[in-house]
Structure 1
Amino acid sequence: MTLKQQIKFWLIALLVFVLFLLLLSNILLPFVLGMAIAYFLDPVADRLEEAGLSRTAATGIIVGLFVVLCALTLTLLVPMIIEQVLGLLDRLPVYYQSLHDFLLPLIGRFVDIPVFQQSEEIRKGFGQYIGEAVKSLGSVSKDIISGGVAVVNMMALFVITPVVAFYLLRDWDHIVERVDGWLPRNHKERIRSLAREIDEVLSGFVRGQSLVCLILATYYGFALMLTGLEFGLIIGIITGLISFIPFIGAIFGFIASVGVALVQFWPDPVMIGIVIAIFVVGQIVEGYILIPSMVGGKIGLHPVWVMFALLAGGTLFGFVGVLIAVPMAAVVGVLSRFAVDQYLQSPIYSGAPPEEPEEPIEK
């Protein structure tokens, strides 16, 4: 197969893959989640196999414990989270009004522009907008909960995902072996090397960052709740769970928690300082302990590239796109580095003419 034919083949394969995602993105969520769970738990299954269990038994134990843990977490936390979310939405206009009254005089001391003379109109307009947004969110939430299609989708998610995870985890090594048998024989070693590098990047980021997010969500949620901060649990959990998006989680959590603390605790500087200290400690622990030990510093995924991949995946394919964004970013990153290395070793970069094959010496 010539180079032109190879490029044509892979472009067609990429086009088919994109069309597949676009056409079937509405039903892919349980399968993508099941695949992610199987990939995440494969090392645990391998260790249980090394301990003497069969692959089927190891898979059943792992998936069963995983489902039980998720069910207990949802049972214990979801009612509390829903209550705090609804309460937070209900209190948003009050928080906005309090922050407006607190910050506007401070800003007005240093800035004198006409917009501050119209602050009352701005306040009323924004307050009305928040009220309408809260009503819209409540209406949408009610429709989602009561919608028959949503109920079916949720049931499918909770029923299909564990089944997909079980079968993929049980057959993971066979699937990898089968795919390896499909590799072009002339390039199999190079493709295997690239696949190992992609797996190293993915395992370093996905598995490591998932544990980091779980630890941070637990820390922020309980630490803020123990301070007595209103809606501290939900703010902390959201902060931890979105920490896989570089900088966004910390910025969101800091602004939300400090804003609520200013409204709730002012003029008590001690409690406000404690809330700020929780995030300072969290960032120090994340940056100097959790990330180096669980993720590593050389995973090859730049924070800007991760943010772009998440936004692009969500825009193109919705929530399924968000789930596959990081794996796709890892694949593109590894292939891009490989392409650059090939370019740097090519005559196109060096300017040297290509070496001509030596003619055989006639005897």
Structure 2
Amino acid sequence: MTLGKKIIVNGTAIIVGLYFLVLGIIEAKPFLGTFVIAVILALLMMPISKKLEKRGLKRIYASIVNTLLLFLLSLGFAALISIQLSTFLKDWDNVKQQIVPKIEKLEGLVYSNTPIEKEDVKLGDAVSNKGVGKKALSFINSFYSFIGNYLLTFIYIFFLLNYRSRFRKFFIKLFPDNKKQKITTVLSEIASITQGYLFGKFLLMVFLFIIYAIGMGATGVSNFIVISALAALLSIIPYIGNIIGFVLAIGLGYVTNGDTVALIGIVATFSIAQFVESYVLQPYVVGDKVNLNPLMIILIVVVGNLMWGVIGMIISVPVLAIANVIFKHVQPLKPFSFLLSNDDSK
């Protein structure tokens, strides 16, 4: 076979293989999405588990304590959001009276300044009763599926923490004796980078929540607690999350309030928060834990969204950081580590 044919055959095989690999990952989202989140959260809780074990607590009990702690934190956050949403829904009639005139005004501007005509906008079945039964059934199925995956995540976390030594030894045993030390180093580096990044992001979200709540609460933004919580939570998605959080705050804050002071408060709060995050919190709390090129971060977040939606956006950066550690220690893959990293010295 000539060199040209080899290049064509090998290139085609690689493209086809990557296509089916990506397709398989997308199709495996119901299982892999839950499991990968559990792995990342287990890595986050591992230092706490180790400290409890050093103080004499057996590993199984330390794993239970850490799993319950995560579970209670998630329930507390869900309860906070639910209470705020219930307050928001109670005021829905007043909110609707303020929103409708703004929407009608916006529609008038669109129709008068663009080629779009009113007849082109069709609400379709969104305002009809067609398919209500199917939608209700779909919602119920989705709800039960979410609850099942939610509880399954914590079951995974418990077993991952409890049997982490066995998993570690398994990966080490996959390689020959002369590679065992290097594999141990890679696994330790993966755990350290992931834990540092996730813990830093968690602290960052707490600080942002406090800043958002103080700023929007002081300027009289309604439902500022739920807006602050959602905006802080969205900051886990690099770059894109802050933009979504700002748009969400405008939608839930200013549009429902209809107050110019609220709009000024939201803009000022997010401007101050982003300045503090970029120049104070990010360097000292998160730092350069993952050492990834900003362009690569944006690309992987977009790819994660295309493949797994919101879950993909959240886990994309830790997964890429883990891949980068592996690339750095495998000689043929070191050029990929250089491409992904933010360090020019490699």
- Asked if these proteins are the same fold (TM beyond 0.5), I'd say yes
| Count of residue correspondences | 315
**Could you tell me whether the CA contact under 8 Å between 1:204 and 1:296 is conserved in 2?**
no
Q: How far 1:100 moved relative to its partner?
A: 7.5
| Aligned ranges 1:1-363 → 2 under 5 Å | 18=22, 21-81=25-85, 84=88, 87=92, 93-97=100-104, 118-119=112-113, 122=116, 124=118, 143=135, 147-221=139-213, 223-257=215-249, 261=254, 264-266=258-260, 272-337=263-328
Distance 2:327 2:287 in 1: 21
Once the two structures are superposed, what CA deviation does each residue of 1:205-236 show, in whole Å capped at 9, x if it has no partner?
A: 22321331243235424642453224544433
Distance 1:241 1:233 in 2: 12
Q: How far 1:41 moved relative to its partner?
A: 0.6
Gap regions ≥5 residues in structure 2 = 1-9, 337-346
**Could you tell me whether the CA contact under 8 Å between 2:239 and 2:298 is conserved in 1?**
no
Q: How far 1:43 moved relative to its partner?
A: 0.8
**Could you tell me whether the CA contact under 8 Å between 1:29 and 1:157 is conserved in 2?**
no
Q: How far 1:323 moved relative to its partner?
A: 4.8
Once the two structures are superposed, what CA deviation does each residue of 1:46-85 show, in whole Å capped at 9, x if it has no partner?
A: 1111122111111112212222232233223224236648
Question: In the alignment, residue 162 of structure 2 is paired with which amino acid?
Answer: R
**Could you tell me whether the CA contact under 8 Å between 1:222 and 1:236 is conserved in 2?**
no
After superposition, the Cα gap between the structure-2 partners of 1:83 and 1:256, relative to the gap in structure 1 and judged at 3 Å, is: same
After superposition, the Cα gap between the structure-2 partners of 1:213 and 1:283, relative to the gap in structure 1 and judged at 3 Å, is: same
Once the two structures are superposed, what CA deviation does each residue of 1:121-162 show, in whole Å capped at 9, x if it has no partner?
A: 758579x57x779859xx99x936863422331231233222
Gap regions ≥5 residues in structure 1 = 1-6, 105-115, 345-363
After superposition, the Cα gap between the structure-2 partners of 1:120 and 1:29, relative to the gap in structure 1 and judged at 3 Å, is: closer
**Could you tell me whether the CA contact under 8 Å between 2:197 and 2:289 is conserved in 1?**
no
Q: How far 1:300 moved relative to its partner?
A: 0.8
Distance 1:292 1:94 in 2: 44
Which secondary structure does the structure 2 equivalent of 1:316 belong to? helix
Which secondary structure does the structure 1 equivalent of 2:80 belong to? helix
Distance 2:19 2:178 in 1: 25
User: Identity percentage over the alignment?
Assistant: 24
Structure 1 or 2, whichever has the larger Rg, is 1
Which secondary structure does the structure 1 equivalent of 2:57 belong to? coil
**Could you tell me whether the CA contact under 8 Å between 2:236 and 2:314 is conserved in 1?**
no
Distance 1:125 1:231 in 2: 36
Distance 1:304 1:169 in 2: 33
Which secondary structure does the structure 2 equivalent of 1:27 belong to? helix
**Could you tell me whether the CA contact under 8 Å between 1:33 and 1:161 is conserved in 2?**
yes
After superposition, the Cα gap between the structure-2 partners of 1:184 and 1:314, relative to the gap in structure 1 and judged at 3 Å, is: farther
Question: In the alignment, residue 167 of structure 1 is paired with which amino acid?
Answer: F
**Could you tell me whether the CA contact under 8 Å between 1:59 and 1:169 is conserved in 2?**
yes
Once the two structures are superposed, what CA deviation does each residue of 1:104-137 show, in whole Å capped at 9, x if it has no partner?
A: 7xxxxxxxxxxx89338758579x57x779859x
After superposition, the Cα gap between the structure-2 partners of 1:195 and 1:19, relative to the gap in structure 1 and judged at 3 Å, is: farther
Distance 2:20 2:184 in 1: 23
**Could you tell me whether the CA contact under 8 Å between 1:84 and 1:234 is conserved in 2?**
no
User: Please, what TM-score do these two structures have when normalized by structure 1?
Assistant: 0.69
After superposition, the Cα gap between the structure-2 partners of 1:278 and 1:123, relative to the gap in structure 1 and judged at 3 Å, is: farther
User: Please, what TM-score do these two structures have when normalized by structure 2?
Assistant: 0.72
Cα RMSD (Å): 4.2
After superposition, the Cα gap between the structure-2 partners of 1:171 and 1:238, relative to the gap in structure 1 and judged at 3 Å, is: same
Where does residue 5 of structure 2 map in the other structure?
none
